[in-house]
Amino acid sequence: MSLIRFQDVLRDAIQSLLGTNPSTQEIIDAYPTAHLTGTTSIQTGGGTFFDLFAKKGRDAWDEAEKLFSHFKKLGVKQSVLIRGDFLFAYEPQSYSVVRAMIFEYAKMGVNVLQNFHGMILALLSVL
């Protein structure tokens, strides 16, 4: 029998157009004991995460590094949502960019990449 595994998706709170849009510090303050919850992993980035920080006038890399560092110190597995070769952008990226970004995520403490390529459907509908 397989176990049920849970994942917290903090990225959605940041991306939400009508949601809370918490700052990185608010997330860190809300999860001081994330390592004790039994969560398999916490999705701390990906999707349009970087784009939305930038649109809100916040330093996307600084915010991401603080968030990733916090959970890495706690020993919590972290995941990010990527969109195939689109990564977290709105256009396809070259293989070298995809590879470099994946290695950068790993250096920042990301353990799991979840691939969701919904953008391909948008591209196909335009063609």
Asked, for residue 61, whether it belongs to a domain, the answer is yes
What residues make up the domain containing 92? 7-126
Asked, for residue 2, whether it belongs to a domain, the answer is no
Asked, for residue 34, whether it belongs to a domain, the answer is yes
Please tell me the predicted confidence (pLDDT) of residue 100.
92
Q: Read off the CATH number of the domain in which 83 is found.
A: 3.20.20.70
Rounded-to-integer distance, Cα 112 and Cα 9, Å: 13
Q: Which two tokens stand for residue 76?
A: 């919590």
Mean pLDDT comparison of 1-15, 25-39, 45-59, 109-123, highest-scoring range? 25-39
Query: Residues 74, 66, 63, CA angle at the centre, nearest 5°?
Result: 145
Rounded-to-integer distance, Cα 15 and Cα 19, Å: 8
**pTM higher than 0.75 for the full model?**
no
Asked, for residue 1, whether it belongs to a domain, the answer is no
Domains contained in the chain, number: 1
Asked, for residue 23, whether it belongs to a domain, the answer is yes
**Coil, helix or strand at residue 41:** strand
* Model pLDDT for residues 25-84, shown as the tens digit of each residue: 888 888 888 888 877 888 887 777 777 777 778 888 888 889 889 988 988 888 888 888
Q: Between 123 and 65, whose confidence is greater? A: 65
DSSP 49-103: HHHHHHHTT--HHHHHHHHHHHHHHHT--EEEEE-GGGTTSSS---HHHHHHHHH
Asked, for residue 32, whether it belongs to a domain, the answer is yes
Q: Which two tokens stand for residue 64?
A: 């991401």
